[in-house]
Chain A
Amino acid sequence: MKLENESRGSSRREFLKSSSQVAAATTLVAASAQHVHAAEDNTIRVALVGCGGRGTGAALNALSVDNGPIQLVALADVFETNLKSTHTALSKHKDVGSKVDVPEERQFIGFDGYKKAIDCLRPGDIAIFATPPAFRWVHYGYAIEKGVHVFMEKPVTIDAPTSARMLEINKKALDKNLKVGVGLMCRHCKVRQELFDRIQNGEIGDVSLLRAYRMAGPTASAAVPPNTTDLSELQYQIKNFHGFLWLSGGAVSDFLIHNIDEACWMKNEWPVRVHAVGGRHYRGDMIDQNFDSYGMEYTFADGTKLLVDGRTIAGCKQEFATYAHGSKGLAVVSSAAHTPAKSRIYAGHNMDKGKLLWDWPEREENPYQLEWADLIAAIRNDTPYNEVERGVMASAVTSMGRMAAHTGQEITLEKFMSHDHEFAPNIADLTLDSESPLKANTEGRYSIPMPGLVKKQEYL
C-alpha cells in the first residue's frame, strides 16, 4: 500500500519538485501577533449565518486557522435541518470539534437569526455570511453597526441598487477599521498572484484578449423542478436559490463570478460595457429563471475584450478555465475548476509544451484556507483589510453580463450602476410566513427573462 501522504492524482511530479512538504498556510502566520481586538482575552468568536454546505465549509476553514484561540459560538439559518447538520458536522469534526461551543440557546432559526447570532459576538469577533447573496447587504449593515469583522461568501450583490447600497454600507466599515473578507478565494492563490505580477511586468506583452469558461453539466440548483414538497413557495426558492434571480443572481452570478473576476484581475481593471447571447433549450418542466447557455462579450476602456462562456447542459464539451492573451503569448490563469490553478505562460497562443515559459511546479496551497489565514492574520495584527469594493465590483460586472443576456441589450457599467430595478426591495422584512418576492403564475411557473421583449429590467 502506498505510504506517501498525498492526494491521489494531484501530480506527484509537482509534489516531488517541491523541496519540502508545504506547511499549512496557517502556520505561516506569526502566532505571536499582537492581539489588538477589543476583548478581555484574545479568543476570536465566530458566528455562522447560513448553514449550507459552503457556509459550513467556511466555518471549518475559519476554525482551522491555528494562530490563536478561535471558537464558533452561534449558528443561524432558516432551516432547522441545515442548522442541525452543520452543528453535527462541526462539533464532531476530529480537528475542530473542540472549538465548537454552540448550545441550543445560540442556534437561531428564522430570518432574524442573523441578528441574534451577531448579538452573541463582541466587537472584534467575526460573522460569516453564507446565505443566498440577496441577504448580504442586510446582514452586513447590522454587523458593521455592531462592530464585528465579517467574512462574506460571493457573490455579494445580485442587482444594481444593492450594489450601490453595499458600497455605501462599506464606508462605515472602513471608518471603523473593520476587517472584511469576500469569498473570491482565487485572489488569495499564491500561483495566480505570481502570474498577475508577471503579466503586469509585461511577460505576455500588452493584454489583448481574455477568455473565461465555465461549461459543465447541470450544476448545483440551477435547474429547479416543480415544487412537490411541503415547503412554502418562499422556502422552496431558498432551498433552490441558484434557480431564482432575486436570491442568487442565478447561474451567471453564482457560477461565473470567479472566472470573470480572475480575468479582470489579470487585466487589472473592470470592463466598461458588455453584450451577450443566451437561451433556454432543454428546460422541460423546470421552473427556474436561468438560461442554459450564456455567451458574453465584455469590453474594457482600451477596447480589449473579455469573452465568457457559461453552460449547464449535460453531455457537451466541458471547460472550466481562464486565459489571457497578450502580444507575446498566452497566460493560463486557471486550468480546471478553481484549484489547483496550474497557472503558466507560453510563448505564442497555443499551449505548446515546447514553448512553456513559466509554470509553478510546487504543490499549491488550498485558497479556501488561505483566504481565512489572511483575514485572521489581519485581525490579529490590525492591518488594513477590506475586500468589499472588489467583491461588489466583481458581483456587479457579473450581474451586468447576465442582464445583457437576459434583456438582449448592450449595457455599460455606468448605466448598470444607476439602474433602479431592485429584485427584492422588502427582503429585510421577510419572515418564515412571508410571501416570496417572486410569485408563480396560475400554471406554477415563474417569469423568465424575455430578451428584446422586456428590456428595461431582467424579468417582469
Chain B
Amino acid sequence: MLSPPQTQSLLAAVVALAIAFSHHPSTANDAVLEVPDAVAKAPAEMKRYAEPIEHTELAIEMVPIKGGTFTMGTPESEADRNEDEGPQHEVTVDPFWMGKYEITWDQYDVWSEQMDQRRRQMLSIPASPRDALVDGVSKPTEPYTDMSFGMGKERYPAISMTQHAARTFCKWLSAKTGRYYRLPTEAEWEYAARAGTQTAYSFGDDPEQLDDYAWYFDNSDDAYHEVGQKKPNPWGLYDMHGNVAEWVLDQYVADFYSQNPKIKNPLAIPSTLYPRVVRGGGWDDDPDMLRCGVREGSSEEWKEQDPQLPQSIWYLTDAQGVGFRVVRPLVEPSAEEKTNKWDNTAPEQKDPVE
C-alpha cells in the first residue's frame, strides 16, 4: 500500500500554521522558515523532510540523494537507443535532496495564483519577511484557459509550463522557505532516476514491467494521473518514468556528452529558447521514451495553439505531458555561482511591457 503523497504533509502544514500564527519575535534568520529535518551540514546528516508551504495546507516532500559518481548515457546495446545518449561517460554529482513526487497543481498554484497570500490576507495575518521576499518574485500572467485541460488538478502533476515558469517557481520557493531550490541538471536527474542501476529502467530492461512503475501511452487512458500511485524507484522517487516528462536546467545539446570534458556537476547553460531538455517521458509516450537515458528537447510546436502574439513566456498550450520536480543542493551555492551557473539562462524572458 503506497502512502498517498500528502498524509505526512498534514503534519508539516500544522507546523507551518503554528509558526504562522505564533508571531514569534524576530530572529536573525527570519528569512528562513524553521524545519529541523531540513538542516544538514554533511551528507550523513541528510534526512527526508517535508518542506511546508507557509499559509497553506501543503508541503513538498524531499528525499536525500547522496552524491556520487555514475555512468551517464546508455550503452550502444540498449534497445531503442538514440545517438545523443552516448558516449557513456563517468559523471560526479554533489549531494542534493529531490522532490519525492512531481510538483502538483495544488503546490504550483500557490505560486501562480498566490494562494498563500490570498489566505494570509483573508486571515489578517501580517506579512513576514519571507512574504515580503516572495512579493519580489514574478508570477505568470493570468491564463485565458484551464491549463489542466480538464484532466484534473489538486494532486495531479502541474503541466504546460515553460521552463522559465518552472525556474521562476523554484525562485519563489527559495524566497518563501529560505532554502535554495532549483530544477535538477540533466546529470542529476539521470543519476536519481537510475538510482544505482545501469539498466534501461530503474527496475531492469523489460518494458513489460512498466505498468507497475509508470503511467504511459498504453495504460494512461489519455491523461496524467495523481502523483505517487505507482511503485517508486530504489531511492524512493515516484513517477521518474512517465506520468509527465520533467524539465531540467539544461539546454538540449545533442553531442554534449562527447564535447563536455567537465565531469563534475555538468550543466549545459541555456542560450536559446529551444530546444531545452525534459526527461523521463510522460503519459502520452511509448516505453522507449521512458528510459533513464533518453533525452528529449523542447520545440516551438509546444506553443502551437497559443492564440496570442507574442506567445506567452509562461504557458505551453501543447505540452500537456510536461511538468517538473525540484531539487535542493546540500551545499547552497554562492550568489556568484548562482548567477554564473545555476540560475544562468538566456535569452531573458520578459512579459511584453504593459
Interface residues in chain A, defined as those with a beta carbon under 8 Å from any beta carbon in chain B: 1-2, 5-13, 53-54, 56-57, 59-60, 81, 85-86, 89-90, 93, 216-222, 239, 282, 284, 314-315, 317-321, 335-339, 366, 368
B133 at the interface (CB under 8 A from A): no
Question: Hey, which chain B residues are within 8 Å of A6, CB to CB?
Answer: 301
Q: Which of B84, B148, B284 has the most CB of A within 10 A?
A: B284
Which residue of B159, B217, B282 contacts A13 across the interface (Cβ within 8 Å)?
B217
- Min distance, Cβ B115 to any Cβ of chain A, angstroms: 6
Q: Are A60 and B118 in contact (CB under 8 A)?
A: no
When the two chains form their complex, are residues B146 and A319 in contact, meaning their CB atoms are under 8 A apart?
A: yes
**A57–B353 touching, CB < 8 Å:** no
Q: A1-B296, A8-B318 are in contact. Are A315 and B109 (CB under 8 A)?
A: yes
B→A interface (CB under 8 Å): 82, 84, 109, 112-115, 118, 121-122, 142-146, 148-151, 153, 159, 217, 222, 245, 252, 254, 275, 282-285, 289, 295-297, 301-302, 304-310, 316, 318-322, 352-354
A219 contact set on B, CB distance < 8 A:
142-144
Q: Which chain A residue shows the least CB distance to B144?
A: A220
Which among A5, A90, A315 has the highest number of chain B CB atoms within 10 Å?
A: A315
Given contacts A1-B84, A314-B113, contact A9 B150 (CB under 8 A): no
Contact between chains at A53 and B296 (CB < 8 Å): no
Q: Is the CB of B354 within 8 A of A239?
A: yes
Q: Smallest Cβ distance from A65 to chain B, in angstroms?
A: 15
Looking at the assembled complex, report how far the CB atom of B67 sits from the nearest CB atom of chain A, in whole angstroms.
28
What are 11 pairs between A and B in contact, CB < 8 Å? A1-B254, A8-B321, A10-B318, A53-B352, A81-B353, A81-B354, A217-B143, A220-B142, A319-B146, A336-B146, A337-B149
Q: Assess whether A12 is in contact with B284, with CB atoms less than 8 Å apart.
A: yes
Instruction: Please report the C-alpha to C-alpha distance between residue A57 and residue B311 in the assembled complex, in whole angstroms.
Output: 9
Q: Which residues of the other chain, B, contact A222 by a CB distance below 8 angstroms? A: 142
| Residues on A with beta carbons closer than 8 Å to the beta carbon of B319 | 7-9
Indicate whether A9 sits within 8 Å of B318 (C-beta atoms), given known contacts A1-B84, A85-B353, A89-B310.
Answer: yes
Cβ-closest chain B residue relative to A56? B309
Given A86-B309, A366-B305, 18 extra CB contacts under 8 A: A1-B254, A2-B296, A5-B301, A7-B301, A8-B319, A10-B284, A54-B307, A54-B308, A57-B309, A81-B353, A89-B310, A219-B143, A219-B144, A220-B144, A239-B354, A314-B113, A314-B118, A368-B305
Q: How far is the CB of A280 from chain B (nearest CB, A)?
A: 14
Known: A8-B321, A9-B318. A320 touches B146 (CB 8 A): yes
Contact A10 B354 (CB under 8 A): no
**Bound CA–CA A338/B150 (angstroms):** 11
Find out whether the CB atom of A217 lies under 8 angstroms from the CB atom of B113.
yes
**B302 contacts A8, C-beta separation under 8 Å:** yes
Using Cβ atoms and an 8 Å threshold, which residues of chain B touch A337?
145-146, 149
**A9 and B321 contact, CB distance less than 8 A:** yes
B residues less than 8 Å from A8 (CB atoms): 245, 282, 284, 301-302, 316, 318-322
* A315: contacting residue among B113, B245, B320, B322, CB under 8 A: B113
B222:A11 contact, CB within 8 angstroms: yes
| A179 to B115 CA separation, bound complex (whole angstroms) | 47
Cα–Cα, bound, A366→B118 (Å): 36
Provide the residues of chain A in CB contact with B84, threshold 8 Å. Answer: 1
| Residue from A8, A90, A220, A335 with most neighbouring chain B CB atoms (10 Å) | A8
Is there an interface contact between B222 and A13, defined as CB atoms closer than 8 Å? yes
- Pick the contact of A321 from B82, B150, B275 — CB < 8 Å? B150
A56–B308 contact, CB under 8 A? yes
Whether A216 lies near B113 (C-beta < 8 A) is no
A7 with B146, Cβ < 8 A, contacts A54-B307, A217-B113 known: no
Chain B residues near A59 (CB, 8 Å)?
A: 309
Question: Smallest CB–CB gap between A364 and chain B, Å?
Answer: 10
| Across-interface contacts of A320 in B (CB, < 8 A) | 145-146, 150
Q: What A residues does B109 contact at CB under 8 A?
A: 217, 314-315
Q: Which residue of B lies closest to A255 (CB)?
A: B144
The smallest C-beta distance from B352 to any residue of chain A, in angstroms, reads: 5
Q: Do A315 and B146 touch across chains, with their CB atoms under 8 A apart?
A: no
Cβ-defined contact, A9 with B308, below 8 A: no
Determine how close the nearest CB of chain A comes to the CB of B126; give it in whole angstroms. 16
Question: Considering only CB atoms, which chain B residue lies closest to A6 in the complex?
Answer: B301
Known: A8-B322, A11-B222. A2 touches B289 (CB 8 A): yes
Cα separation A217 to B148 with both chains bound (whole Å)? 11
CB of A9 within 8 A of CB of B143, answer no
5 smallest CB-CB distances across A and B, nearest first, come from A9-B321, A9-B320, A336-B150, A7-B318, A53-B308
Candidates A7, A11, A81, A221; contact of B304 at CB < 8 Å: A7
Residue of B nearest to A353 (CB): B221
Q: A2-B289, A7-B318 are in contact. Are A314 and B115 (CB under 8 A)?
A: yes
Decide if B310 touches A85 in the complex (CB within 8 Å). Answer: yes
Q: Shortest beta-carbon distance, A11 to chain B, in Å?
A: 5
In contact, B318 and A53 (Cβ under 8 angstroms): no
User: A13 contacts which chain B residues (CB < 8 A)?
Assistant: 217, 222
B353 in contact with A9 (CB, 8 Å): no
* Residues of chain A lying within 8 A (CB to CB) of residue B297: 1-2
Measured CB to CB, the nearest residue on chain A to B159 is A9
Would you call B146 and A216 a contact (CB within 8 A)? yes
A314 proximity list for chain B (CB < 8 A)? 109, 113-115, 118
Are B144 and A339 interface neighbours, CB within 8 A? no
Q: How far is the CA of A219 from the CA of B143 in the complex (A)?
A: 6
Which residues from B are CB-within-8-Å of A336? 146, 148-151
Q: Is the CB of A216 within 8 A of B301?
A: no
CA distance A216 to B112 in the complex (A): 13
B245, B297, B301, B352: residue with the most chain A Cβ atoms closer than 10 Å: B352
B254 touches A53 (CB 8 A): no
Q: Which residues of A contact B283 (CB under 8 A)?
A: 9
A9 to B301, CA, bound (A): 11
Query: Are B320 and A318 in contact (CB-based, < 8 A)?
Result: no
How far is it, in angstroms, between the C-alpha of A291 and the C-alpha of B218 when the chains are bound?
Answer: 43
| Contact of B305 with A339 in the complex, beta carbons under 8 Å | yes
B231 to chain A, nearest CB (A): 23
Q: Given the complex, which residues of A lie within 8 Å of B320, measured CB to CB? A: 8-10
CB atoms of A57 and B308 under 8 A apart = yes
Do B322 and A9 touch (CB < 8 A)? yes
Q: Are B284 and A319 touching (Cβ within 8 A)? A: no
